[in-house]
Amino acid sequence: MTEWFLCMDSENPSPEKRLEGKKILLGITGSIAAYKSVYLCRFLVKEGAEVRIIMTPSATQFVRPVTFATLSKNPVRISLAENDEWSDHVEWGLWSDAFLIAPLTANTLAKMATGMADNMLLATYLSCRSKIIVAPAMDLDMWHHPATCQNLETILSRGVMLIDVVDGELASGLQGPGRMAEPEDILEYTVKLFSNNKPLQGKSVLVTAGPTRESIDPVRYLTNHSSGKMGFALANALADAGASVQLVHGPVDEEFRLNSSIKKHPVVSAEEMLTACNYLYEKIDIAIFAAAVSDYKPEEFTMQKIKKEDGNTLVLRLKKNPDIAAELGKIKKNKLHIGFALETENEIENARKKLQTKKFDMVVLNSLADEGSGFGYDTNKVTFVEQNNILHLELKPKAEVAKDIVNYIVKKL
């Protein structure tokens, strides 16, 4: 035991305590990679973090709770009720600055995606308000299974952060992706998360998101399939990078987990969206137009419900809505404008036209032809189009696309 401690300490000398004062909840699920979390726990403590541990019952088959209790100097929680006493999962969730689940099994991932709460770790996850980071570990076929991919996309779209699996030898003897990241790398990710290095600190960003809704009569409206996922993911990524974010969004169905610093401005129609954007525009440095604004609205709003009449057709006259991006483009001066384009043909050419007509500095192009891309999906396959540059990105969760856009902005500034 002594030798083992000596070995770990000498491997990771840490002169300054980079997590001093941080409260970290470390969740451990039933994977062989749980042994690496013993090191992780020790590293976090050595960096000055206060660490509390929650294990799933199956995790205790891999590492004994007493190991973690000793290293964290705190009792380990496993069940929702222990010794006939209820354990307060809400309190632990609220206490933490970050909830790090490492390793995360396919089983716990599936339960997180569906909102199950049949153990202490899951109940805490559901009531946790702090940053949630997961480091999955599983066999490569489990990792590639469509169910796992979908579950991962679901939790990432809700704001959970991912420390990706790494390639290598797996417990099964197979070779491939599925190994949990090394504890040293998880530690560095966590330190970075809390570091004050916020590249967009001091910048104010306007983001438009979601669809707009154009009323026809008191009960009907025109809209589109936009879910708002991309725009909300962008708002979160920008806020995580230190930007002050004004999110003007149309009606969305999903309750997105949003960084608490983001200022939300819910609107319904394109006219309302333009009014809100005009109001906010003067004080912002960057504008990102991710909303799917209705191009047209009914020429007239009919005060009474339109009645069904004889005959097979009904003519509804539409008129053009304002183009928010183009309107603000006219007064942009040196602000950075990024737009989105969803094209079905001549994609690059059409995206380039928008650079000019709407005065965008860059267009994030996505094509409905790409599987997993576009409305409603948690993933997106995009191309960054500038006047003289094109960058094709692979299919990835929208939260990751959002980070790529943030990185683009940081480089541009």
Find out whether 382 and 393 touch, Cβ atoms under 8 Å.
yes
Kindly tell me which of 45 and 291 has the beta carbon lying closer to ligand C5P. 291
Of the candidates 340, 331, 299, 333, the residue with the CA atom closest to the CA atom of residue 316 = 299
Active site residue 12: no
Structure tokens at 142: 């489990």
Please tell me the distance from the alpha carbon of residue 396 to that of residue 237, in angstroms, as a whole number: 15
Kindly tell me which of 119 and 373 has the beta carbon lying closer to ligand C5P. 373
Kindly tell me which of 151 and 373 has the beta carbon lying closer to ligand C5P. 373
Contact letters for ligand C5P, residues 166-205 (x by CB under 6 A): ----------------------------------------
State the minimum distance, in angstroms, from the CB of residue 306 to ligand C5P.
Answer: 25
Member of 162, 341, 365, 406 binding ligand C5P (CB under 6 A): 341
Find out whether 210 and 376 touch, Cβ atoms under 8 Å.
no
12, 74, 224, 259: the active-site residue: 224
Please tell me the distance from the alpha carbon of residue 268 to that of residue 265, in angstroms, as a whole number: 10
Please tell me the distance from the alpha carbon of residue 15 to that of residue 3, in angstroms, as a whole number: 21
State the minimum distance, in angstroms, from the CB of residue 266 to ligand C5P.
Answer: 16
Member of 113, 270, 284, 336 binding ligand C5P (CB under 6 A): 270
Residue 340 found at the interface with ligand C5P (CB under 6 A) = yes
Kindly tell me which of 125 and 360 has the beta carbon lying closer to ligand C5P. 360
Q: Which stretch binds ligand C5P (CB under 6 A): 153-161, 234-242, 308-316, 322-330?
A: 322-330
Q: Which residues are catalytic?
A: 224
Rule CB under 6 A: which residues touch ligand C5P? Answer: 208, 270, 289, 291, 293, 295, 321, 323-325, 339-341, 354, 358
